[in-house]
Amino acid sequence: MNQKNKKSKGFTLVELIVVMAGFLLIMAVAIVIFISIIQSQRKILMQNQLLNQTSYLIEYMSKGLRMAERDIAGSCLVYVDAGGEVVDFFPGYNYLYTKPNGGFYNGLKFINANSSSCQEFYLDSEDNLIKELKNSINEINAVQLISDKFDVDYFRIAVNETNGAVGEGEILGSSIDDQRQPRVTISAGFSVPGDNGNPSLKIQTTISQRNINE
């Protein structure tokens, strides 16, 4: 009887190894699930931030572009060369394309009738940030409109029927005598730096002037 009791006490080495292996397996699965949850939560938060920032960006630019008016005096729509010198101006137009890039344009300049300011929205090729330049031709005064923790995959601006002016001396589309209302189309792609699984977003919107050209 005593020998039976002695044999039934404690665990064998094999039993301990099996228990430890099972415990470690459960812990490994729990850690993998925990890391997966953290990564998913991080992606959701980054996606929300990306959506919030790009929504604000598009709304802010749309608000300004809707209030664009003709530059009668030609004081805003001026072409500036690489040295910062004004070499041409375009009185009577609504918009001036800027930042030409492989057949597309990454910037647009206009007069905001609401604030009476000369505004330019553009993609800075040096730091790949979308910026706003207001009442200045010196890009050192530009303000970035989106966080640098997001990549701008592309940013293009087009005016319908080329109803604007190109910053290389070539006049396109309407003149001061043309009553057509120009529409601006913005196409942009954004993403979170890193692996391909990170959030990305593509946006396209078209804005028309609020006030009729006179």
In a domain, 145, yes or no: yes
Q: What is the pLDDT along the chain (214 residues), one digit of tens a residue?
A: 455 555 556 667 777 788 888 888 888 888 888 888 877 777 778 888 888 999 999 999 999 998 888 888 878 888 877 677 777 778 888 888 888 887 788 899 999 888 788 999 999 988 899 999 998 878 888 999 988 888 999 998 888 754 444 444 333 433 444 445 778 889 999 988 876 677 888 999 998 877 766 6
In a domain, 10, yes or no: no
Contacts of 156 (CB under 8 A, 6+ apart): 104, 105, 106, 186, 187, 188
In a domain, 59, yes or no: yes
In a domain, 30, yes or no: no
In a domain, 12, yes or no: no
In a domain, 20, yes or no: no
In a domain, 14, yes or no: no
Domain that holds residue 49: 40-208
Q: What is the total count of domains within the chain? A: 1
In a domain, 178, yes or no: yes
Q: Which of 116, 115, 117, 119 is nearest to 107 (CA)?
A: 119
Hey, what are 203's tokens?
């946006």
* C-alpha distances out from residue 50 to 8, 26, 97, 141, 188, Å: 63, 36, 27, 25, 13
- Distance, in Å, from the CA atom of 209 to the CA atom of 137, rounded to the nearest integer, reads 24
Compute the Cα dihedral for 61, 62, 67, 68 and give only its sign: positive
- Indicate yes or no: pTM above 0.75: no
What's the confidence (pLDDT) of residue 4?
53
